[in-house]
Amino acid sequence: MRNTMLGNKAASLLAASATARATTLRHAIAKTCAACNSKQASYASMPSQQPQPTIGGPRLPPHLIHATLRQPKLSQRGNPKDIKTQFLYALYTSILPKRVVMVLQLNAVNVAEYHLLNREFKKQGMNILKIRLGIFRAAVKGYSDRGTMSWVGDIRDPVSPDGGPPHTIESRAAGRKLAAMPVGHTAIVFADVSRETTHAAVLKDVNQVIHTVKPFPGKVMIVGAKVDSSVFSREELEHVATLPSLPALRGELVGLLQSPAAALLGHLSAMETMTGTSLVSALEARGSEIVSLLSRHSMNHEGRSSSNSEAS
C-alpha cells in the first residue's frame, strides 16, 4: 500500500514537472515567434536597398539576383538548392557571355600570391575568380545548351560594350570542351575587351602577369579559353595568337582585291603610251612615202575616170 502511494506521488510530480517544462517551452517559442514577426515587419518596412552578393569576386547583376530569388533552382528531388550555390551558378552564367573567359590552373598558390595576381590582372583590365568546379561545369553546360545567359524567360542577355550581341558558345560540343577544362584548383580570368583587340594581345597580357610576377613561374598555367564564341585549348590558343587581327586581314583582303585591277590598269596605260608613241614616230619617219603613195593612188583614180568617160 505504501509503495503504491509513493508511486502515485512520484508520477504526479513527474507530470507536474513535464507540464511546467512544456509551458515554459511554449512561452519561449511564442517570444521567439513574436521577435521574428517584428523583425520581418521591420525588414518589410525598410527600403529595398539590399547589398549585392560579392561571392569571392565581382558583383552579381541585380536582375540575376531577382531571377535567382524568384525562380530558385531545384534538386532532382524537388528541393531548393543552397542559396550560395544558386548565386554562384548565376555569377558564372553572367561571366560566360564576356568576350574572353580564360581557364587557369593554380598550383599551390597561397592567399598573398592570389591577391597579387588579382591586382596585376586588374591593371590589365581583367578579373580573376576562383571557381567551384561542379557549379561552373553546370553553368557552362546550361549556357551552351540554352544559347542564352538567363534561365528565366523574361531576362534579356546583356549587350557587349561595343554594342554587339553577347558572345555565346558556338556549339554544345564547344561547351563540353570548356566544361572539361577545369581540374583541381582552378580560376577563370575574364574581360569584355573590344572586338578590335587581337587574341595575341589578350594572351600577351595574361602571360605578362603569369611570367613576369616573381612568385608565379610554374604555379599558374593556362589550360584553355573561350574567345568570342570559340573554345580553344592552350595549344590552339597559342596558334590563334599568331594569326593577324581582323582589321589587318581586312586590309590584306582589300589589297589583294585592288592589286589585280591596279596592275591591269597600269599595263593598259603602258600599252596605250607605247602604241601612241610608236604610231607617231612611224608616221613621222615615213611621211614622204605615204604622201607619194597617196599621190599615185590619186593619179591612178583620175586616169581610170577619164578612160571610162572616153569609152562612153
| pLDDT higher than threshold 50 for residue 40 | no
Asked if 114 contacts 233 with a C-beta cutoff of 8 angstroms, the reply is no
Global pTM value: 0.55
Query: Which one, of 159, 156, 155, lies nearest residue 66 by Cα?
Result: 155
Of the ranges 28-32, 50-54, 165-169, 181-185, which one carries the lowest mean pLDDT score? 50-54
Query: Cell digits for 261?
Result: 585591277
Residue 261's pLDDT band, with cuts at 50, 70 and 90, is low
The sign of the dihedral angle between the CA atoms of 168, 183, 203, 177 is negative
Is the pLDDT higher at 5 or at 41? 5
User: Do residues 103 and 164 lie in contact, with contact meaning Cβ atoms separated by under 8 Å?
Assistant: no
Over the stretch 218-231, which tens digit does the pLDDT of each residue have?
788 888 888 888 88
Cell of 26: 511554449
Range from 140-144, 200-204, 276-280 carrying the lowest mean pLDDT:
276-280
Q: What is the average pLDDT across 263-273? A: 60
Q: Which of 129, 43, 124 has its CA nearest to residue 91?
A: 129
Please tell me the predicted confidence (pLDDT) of residue 258: 66
Which pLDDT belongs to residue 150? 52
CA distance 84 to 225: 26
Residue ranges covered by each domain of the chain: 62-249
Asked if CATH classification 3.30.70.1730 holds for the domain at 62-249, the reply, yes or no, is yes
Q: Which cell numbers in the block locate residue 311?
A: 569609152
Percent of the chain with pLDDT over 70: 44
pLDDT exceeds cutoff 80 at 187 = yes
DSSP 82-149: PHHHHHHHHHHHHHTTSSEEEEEEESS--HHHHHHHHHHHHHTT-EEEE--HHHHHHHHHHHHHHSSS
pLDDT(165) > 70: no
